[in-house]
């Protein structure tokens, strides 16, 4: 998930910036052909390249500062090449095809397994990338079939954002269960203001937002037709039926949801820390953050783990790959993670860094609590997640516009199993 810039341009652009899902067979063919044909590229021994999605001015400058410090520390020149998030995979494939892969690629966590499946990524532990003080969930997030391919600097997840002034005026506490959230959302719906906003659009944004409801209810991406997944989608439908959720939710991205919240058109929203910078530009907006409500009191709130993964592609040059590992160690060092997290409002992946970060931004401590129980979308299915995501996207659109949740989710599971 990407973040917004202070001027809001990023979140407006992001609506057009859909992530392109590239079939695994295509990725495999290109990467395999590249491996068979050898490295082929003439590289400057002292210059290393990091491909990322930091096209926003703020993020590009933050990464530039990190790479400058690491360049000085390691005695090499590290350059970044930034493309829109939706183009990282396709750009990587073009570079693989022309035998001009960068030294490090920062993939979205949901994309990394697809490239790893082809054998196109190096085992980071074997190259010397440190895993000290990395929580198990985040280690697993960067792993595929037991091998550690992706190192995170920071991670993110979803949480419940709420307008403190609106809730206080209504005399309501922050909801902690589904029943409380449904009741509060109904009471807070007045005139043009909805009680809650969330993204149920036909893209990965909607799927990302559905996972905490599915997982916290005991559902699994391995059985979309189960009672637990049906109940989660029915809960969304209940909010819609109550009038607490706008019918436009089927078209909203997470950026759209944030726009509605900032405009006062929603008292609560489900969103992530990448919106904080934009939220803080709205004078007089008194917002708070809490864990996403759960089906019953005492249940774990299980959200999705998101964020970029620093990976080392197989370029056929072990010496360079080991230096790339040293670069990743520098980028993921405790102080660099804290600096980057404080700039971006994300949560450091390193536990010691996260503890320091929590003290510096106590208002976001709920995010750290949510991360503690969060898990990766690809943890169970790896590269197969893309099929589940596409099936769920269609299911949302059908269910929230009138069809039976049970029927559309049963069809979604059949679609996944058939490979269509």
Of 97, 106, 166, which Cα lies nearest the Cα of 142? Answer: 106
Residues 254 and 390 in one domain: yes
Residues 238 and 274 in one domain: yes
Q: Find tokens 């390691």 and name the residue.
A: 74
Residues 39 and 164 in one domain: no
Report pLDDT for 327.
98
Residues 272 and 342 in one domain: no
CB 329 within 8 A of CB 130: yes
CB 381 within 8 A of CB 388: yes
Residues 169 and 299 in one domain: yes
Q: Is the pLDDT of residue 21 over 80?
A: no
Residue 283, in any domain of the structure: yes
What are the DSSP E strand ranges found in 140-262? 143-144, 147-148, 154-155, 159-163, 194-197
Query: pLDDT tens digit string along 257-271?
Result: 999 999 999 999 999
Phi, psi values for residue 393, rounded to 5°: -55, -45
Residues 116 and 150 in one domain: yes
Residue 273, in any domain of the structure: yes
Residues 183 and 256 in one domain: yes
191 three-class SS = coil
For range 121-148, the mean pLDDT: 94
Q: Is the pLDDT of residue 411 over 70?
A: yes
Compute the C-alpha angle 321/61/286, nearest 5°. Answer: 125
Report pLDDT for 366.
86
CATH code, domain with 281: 3.40.190.10
Q: Is the pLDDT of residue 335 over 70?
A: yes
Query: pLDDT tens digit string along 157-200?
Result: 999 999 999 999 999 999 999 999 999 999 999 999 999 999 99
The Cα–Cα gap between 56 and 155 comes to: 18
Query: pLDDT tens digit string along 372-390?
Result: 889 999 889 988 898 999 9
Residue 2, in any domain of the structure: no
Q: From residue 399, give the alpha-carbon distance in Å to each of 90, 294, 382, 394.
A: 32, 21, 26, 9
Query: pLDDT tens digit string along 218-261?
Result: 999 999 999 999 999 999 999 999 999 999 999 999 999 999 99
Residues 231 and 295 in one domain: yes
Query: pLDDT tens digit string along 104-118?
Result: 999 998 889 989 988
Residue 4, in any domain of the structure: no
- Which residue range forms the structural domain that includes residue 219? 159-304+381-418
| Average pLDDT, rounded, for the chain | 89
Strands 287-290 and 77-82: unpaired
Query: pLDDT tens digit string along 41-52?
Result: 678 889 999 999
What are the DSSP E strand ranges found in 131-278? 143-144, 147-148, 154-155, 159-163, 194-197, 266-271
Note if the pTM is more than 0.95. no
Residues 18 and 84 in one domain: yes
Residues 57 and 39 in one domain: yes
Q: Is the pLDDT of residue 11 over 80?
A: no
Residue 173, in any domain of the structure: yes
What are the DSSP E strand ranges found in 211-365? 266-271, 287-290, 308-311, 347-348
The Cα–Cα gap between 273 and 48 comes to: 30
Residue 1, in any domain of the structure: no
Q: Is the pLDDT of residue 132 over 90?
A: yes
Residues 170 and 220 in one domain: yes
What are the DSSP E strand ranges found in 85-233? 104-108, 143-144, 147-148, 154-155, 159-163, 194-197
How many structural domains does the chain have?
Answer: 2
Q: Is the pLDDT of residue 319 over 90?
A: yes
199 secondary structure, DSSP code: -
Which tokens hold the place of 319?
A: 């010496």
Residue 32, in any domain of the structure: yes
Query: pLDDT tens digit string along 138-152?
Result: 999 999 999 999 999
DSSP β-bridge partners for residue 331: none
Residues 312 and 300 in one domain: no
Which tokens hold the place of 401?
A: 């516009």
Residue 13, in any domain of the structure: yes
Q: Is the pLDDT of residue 16 over 80?
A: no
């Amino acid at each position: 998930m990407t973040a917004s810039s202070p001027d809001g341009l990023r979140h407006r652009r992001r609506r057009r910036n859909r992530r392109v899902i590239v079939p695994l067979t295509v990725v495999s063919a290109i990467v395999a052909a590249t491996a068979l044909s050898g490295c082929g590229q003439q590289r400057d021994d002292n210059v290393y390249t990091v491909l990322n999605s930091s096209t926003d001015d703020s993020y590009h400058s933050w990464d530039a500062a990190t790479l400058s410090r690491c360049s000085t520390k390691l005695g090499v020149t590290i350059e970044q090449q930034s493309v829109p998030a939706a183009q990282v995979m396709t750009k990587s494939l073009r570079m693989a095809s022309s035998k001009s892969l960068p030294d490090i690629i920062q993939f979205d966590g949901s994309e990394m397994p697809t490239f790893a499946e082809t054998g196109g990524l190096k085992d980071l532990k074997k190259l010397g990338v440190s895993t000290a003080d990395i929580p198990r969930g985040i280690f697993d997030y960067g792993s595929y079939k037991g091998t550690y391919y992706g190192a995170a600097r920071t991670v993110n997840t979803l949480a419940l954002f709420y307008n403190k002034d609106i809730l206080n005026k209504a005399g309501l506490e922050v909801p902690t269960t589904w029943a409380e959230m449904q009741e509060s959302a109904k009471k807070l719906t007045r005139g043009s203001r909805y009680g809650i906003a969330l993204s149920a659009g036909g893209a990965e944004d909607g799927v990302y937002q559905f996972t905490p409801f599915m997982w916290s209810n005991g559902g699994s991406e391995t059985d979309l037709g189960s009672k637990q997944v049906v109940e989660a989608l029915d809960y969304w439908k209940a909010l819609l039926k109550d009038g607490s959720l706008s019918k436009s939710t089927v078209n909203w991205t997470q950026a759209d949801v944030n726009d509605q919240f900032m405009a006062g058109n929603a008292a609560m929203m489900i969103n992530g820390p990448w919106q904080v910078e934009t939220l803080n530009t709205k004078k007089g907006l008194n917002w708070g953050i809490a864990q996403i409500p759960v089906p019953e009191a005492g249940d774990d709130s299980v959200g999705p783990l998101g964020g970029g993964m620093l990976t080392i592609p197989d370029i056929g040059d072990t010496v360079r790959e080991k230096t790339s590992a040293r670069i990743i160690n520098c980028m993921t060092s405790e102080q660099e993670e804290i600096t980057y997290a404080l700039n971006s409002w994300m949560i450091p992946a390193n536990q010691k860094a996260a503890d320091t970060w929590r003290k510096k931004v106590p208002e976001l401590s709920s995010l750290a609590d949510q991360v503690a129980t969060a898990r990766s979308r690809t943890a169970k299915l790896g590269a197969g997640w893309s099929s589940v995501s596409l099936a769920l996207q269609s299911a949302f659109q059908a269910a929230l516009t009138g069809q039976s949740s049970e029927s559309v989710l049963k069809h979604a599971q059949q679609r996944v199993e058939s490979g269509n």
